[in-house]
Chains A and B, each alone.
Chain A
């Protein structure tokens, strides 16, 4: 009996999750994950905190089964679980649940606004006539650039194709419809273009404990080039993407992050979806918590988890 419910739960979870994402294209998968978990919190009854915790983790596992960017899901889920189990006094279960629901809603509201905050912070760094290089498609970066163009700034954006898929083209389309000059370039042309740009601005799928980022494949190369050419490398990331991972190198990144689920058996033959950019190559991180240096990320995570 419990098994069946579990299965249906799982099924429900991933379906609800995907449904959320289908509804709103602009929604980050991390936020969708949090919304899903909140939904579970509302719908389900729990006897003890322990069961609640387990259910949450199972739900996160279920969402990970979908083939979407796993990093954001994991970090958002972690954060949510953490905050549920944080400083709860010995209250009645029902009370706890109400508290947690309330918190969850506040949390969600704040996070929904995070992109706006980040875009606002990035305005100061985008000056008239500057040339920006960005990697493939990132909604945060898109929002920041559109906000800048609304502020009557004129600049030029170089967008890389971003590997397989047409995410680069999508980004270019979005930018052009907002009236921003842009050029689509090959991923391999990053080195060529780097000397003519003023700075690099990318999004991130996750920000890891070392202060580095996990982002679409090709970001590491871009970071290397930027450092060599002495150009600033800015990362725009919401705070729920902070993850407790600490990769030492590309190989150290867990396989689930790098490859989609169906290829996990045969990793030697497939190319990875994401790569890890170490903190040495990142100049500044723009988050809704403020403009941070990479060393400040660890500070934030330590404060939260300890």
Chain B
């Protein structure tokens, strides 16, 4: 018997190398775009990314997001945006993009030493 583990949540399943993982391009019949979903938990909070889903258009993406991500009053407002329309920074945290903020510790209040006796600062 091949390798079986319960790491897949609902119970033990085969996880050995004989289980295929790579998608076969021709098997994909559907061309619905991927939408990223953002939900505002309540008034006063930002919309926060909660996940993604496929839908034929933006309107149906909102309907599907309502069913998928707000079954228990998790939100009062939903944004959806096509994943392909998002421009992102490089995933590498050491990217030079963020380097200029790394060495400017004087932008943080803790950089400044104030004696304990000074109130309200």
Check if A and B associate.
no
A interface residues with partner B (beta carbon < 8 Å)? none
